């Protein structure tokens, strides 16, 4: 019997989270424009340069993490090397901590920058939903991976693997 592939098997819950984050971003941006509190203090050129750096770094991390995913989905093996040895959700972390704030800097909106907290909450929920499924697929291996590897923010010092 051939199992029908579900879209969540391919991309997880991330696209829904990303869509919600775009909606939150636009809402905060529009509220800020209407209320007249859209502007960040400081040099706009500096904001744009910082945004460019954040976008480049976030794009590289997102792309690198995304490239590892089709291999793991196809071969049904748990990916724990590369970026996944530092955090369990490098794609989400790149969006929340680099890409999302970069767009807030590009539109020079303090409210959009603050809405990064909402983006974190949305992607944290997406991660929890995905992890329930990953525990079903990989069992104790994934539970051990969860104990050893943080979700979004890498540790300053990496733990030594216990063998």
The pLDDT, as a whole number, for residue 163 is 42
More confident residue, 6 or 126: 126
The pLDDT, as a whole number, for residue 38 is 63
- Two structure tokens written together for 46: 């500096």
- Two structure tokens written together for 15: 């696209």
Q: What is the pLDDT confidence band of residue 1, given thresholds at 50, 70 and 90? A: very low
- Terminal alpha carbon distance of the chain: 38
Which residues neighbour 38 within 8 Å (Cβ) at sequence distance 6 or greater?
29, 32, 107, 108, 109, 110, 111
Q: Report the Cα 17 to chain-centroid distance in Å.
A: 9
For the entire predicted model, the pTM comes to 0.79
Q: What is the pLDDT of residues 54-92, one digit of tens each?
A: 999 999 999 998 888 755 555 678 888 899 999 999 999
């Amino acid at each position: 019997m051939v199992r029908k592939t579900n879209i969540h098997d391919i991309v997880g819950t991330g696209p829904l989270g990303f869509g919600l984050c775009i909606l939150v971003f636009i809402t905060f941006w529009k509220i800020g424009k209407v209320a007249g509190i859209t502007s960040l203090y400081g040099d706009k050129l500096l904001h744009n340069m910082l945004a460019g750096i954040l976008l480049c770094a976030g794009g590289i991390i997102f792309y690198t993490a995304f490239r590892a995913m089709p291999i793991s989905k196809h071969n049904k093996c748990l990916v724990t090397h590369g970026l996944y040895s530092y955090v369990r959700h490098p794609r989400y972390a790149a969006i929340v901590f680099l890409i999302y704030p970069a767009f807030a800097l590009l539109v020079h909106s303090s409210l959009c920058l603050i809405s990064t907290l909402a983006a974190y909450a949305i992607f944290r929920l997406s991660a929890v939903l995905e992890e329930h499924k990953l525990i079903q697929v990989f069992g104790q291996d994934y539970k051990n991976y969860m104990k050893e590897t943080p979700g979004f923010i890498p540790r300053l010092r990496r733990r030594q693997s216990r063998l």
